[in-house]
Amino acid sequence: MAASEPTPTAFAKGLAGVVAGQTAICSLSGTLRYRGYDIEPLARAGDFEEVAFLLLHGELPTAAERDGLQRRIAAAAAHLPSAVLDALERLAVTEPHAAPMDALRTGVSMLGLVERDDTPGPAAALVAQAERLIGQVAALLAAWIDMTSGRPVAAWPDAPLAAALLERLTGRPPTAAEAAIFGTTLVLYAEHEFNASTFAARTVVSTGSDMHSAITAAIGTLKGPLHGGANEKVLEVLGEIGSADRARPWVEEQFAAKRVVMGFGHRVYKDGDVRAKLLGEMCRAMVSGTQADGLEALAAEVEAIMLERKALKPNLDWPAARVYHALGLPVKVFTPIFVVARMSGWTAHVIEQIGDNRLIRPLSVYSGPAPRDYPPLASRSSGF
């Protein structure tokens, strides 16, 4: 800004409502669309490779193109660099209780080091790097869980990513129905415009930094409970409430303490998250008549109270946590699964940002002390 321009005095806290750029990858107006395609048929198909191809290449794949991507992702998952695996193995021995999100963030950073990722390459090389990262991060997650459970790291299954990852995390091949709904969650988690972690990734590469640095920052950003970390908190919340009859006093207690209820509300969707509606229906159909039905009754009660008391509707994390629980997945892998899926969206945004870059550098309104004189060290007394 030139010195003669006025100092800014207004700002939007949390950048709420601020348009910070443009993207051809995803739109949220009306409904959620990936590159122009409505989310509903994509989610119902539940084919993660199809969606990852669409996000990274710009168009839906042919059958051969889709299978090619499946092979490339699986090959990357099957061949993690040994230097990274060895380092994680040592960390798993000394830090067995570290969060898998921290292991993923560290693992991606190490991948950047061994791959000597220091400059953005041509677009085709970036797309290849992105495809590799999807497989690698899925395999890193499964390897970390094996290592911290005292098991040898198992081989990567020759299957679509959804079925392969589910098998690696549960220890058994999934049924077709299980793989399908898990695939749907990956499709729904794949991309969401300028959310906090994607914006973090774009900010990193806007400085001319590399893909792995951007993704490392994105994983750290996703970890927070107001963003991706919410899906793990949702299951903790449901466990804490315990039964439908305790829902109302529990919710009232949260409001009285000015605590947010995890899995509800959204910065952009103020009239409900289309993803939550879609997955919520699928979740209820999946668990109907099973043991998990009790949790659905509790979830429905909380939803009704949140709507009645605050007009707040669930976001995607609300049903996703219940689906993952019903699939027998441990809570600690919920947010890491989000990482695997969102890797496709993050990397698509990184490539888009690099392709038409300008340094991301907003302004702030200064709210500190008025200008004052610098006192010499010897003349200062403690202000505390």
Where on the chain is the footprint of ligand COA (CB under 6 A)? 14, 226, 230, 260-267, 310, 312, 315, 317
Closest approach of ligand COA to the CB of residue 315, in Å: 4
**Strand pairing partners for 27?**
33
Least Cα distance to 337 among 207, 162, 89 occurs for 162
220, 248, 299, 361 from 242: Cα distances, Å = 31, 12, 10, 46
Minimum CB distance to ligand COA smaller for 168 or for 313: 313
Minimum CB distance to ligand COA smaller for 20 or for 93: 20
3, 28, 152, 199 from 53: Cα distances, Å = 47, 20, 32, 21
CA 99 to centroid of chain Cα atoms: 15
Question: For residues 194 and 37, what is the distance between their CA atoms, to the nearest angstrom?
Answer: 18
Residue 224 per-residue DSSP state: S
Residue 26 per-residue DSSP state: E
Cβ–Cβ under 8 Å, residues 162 and 46: yes
Closest approach of ligand COA to the CB of residue 258, in Å: 7
Rg (CA), the chain: 22
Minimum CB distance to ligand COA smaller for 61 or for 319: 319
Cβ–Cβ under 8 Å, residues 35 and 25: yes
Collapsed DSSP state (helix, strand, coil) of residue 264 = strand
Token digits for 275? 């993803």
Strands 26-27 and 37-38: unpaired
- Beta-carbon contacts of 185 under 8 Å, excluding residues fewer than 6 positions away, are 279, 320, 323, 324, 337, 341
Closest approach of ligand COA to the CB of residue 195, in Å: 8
Phi, psi angle pair for 214, to nearest 5°: -65, -45
Closest approach of ligand COA to the CB of residue 343, in Å: 17
Closest approach of ligand COA to the CB of residue 208, in Å: 30
Minimum CB distance to ligand COA smaller for 117 or for 317: 317
Minimum CB distance to ligand COA smaller for 24 or for 226: 226
Minimum CB distance to ligand COA smaller for 48 or for 264: 264
Closest approach of ligand COA to the CB of residue 278, in Å: 14
Amino acid at 98: A
34, 76, 179, 343 from 135: Cα distances, Å = 21, 5, 17, 10
Report which residue's Cβ sits closest to ligand COA.
265
Minimum CB distance to ligand COA smaller for 161 or for 316: 316
Least Cα distance to 29 among 157, 171, 194, 164 occurs for 194
Q: Where on the phi/psi map is residue 121: left (φ > 0), alpha (ψ -120 to 50), or beta?
A: beta
Looking at the annotation, which residues are catalytic? 266, 317
Closest approach of ligand COA to the CB of residue 284, in Å: 19
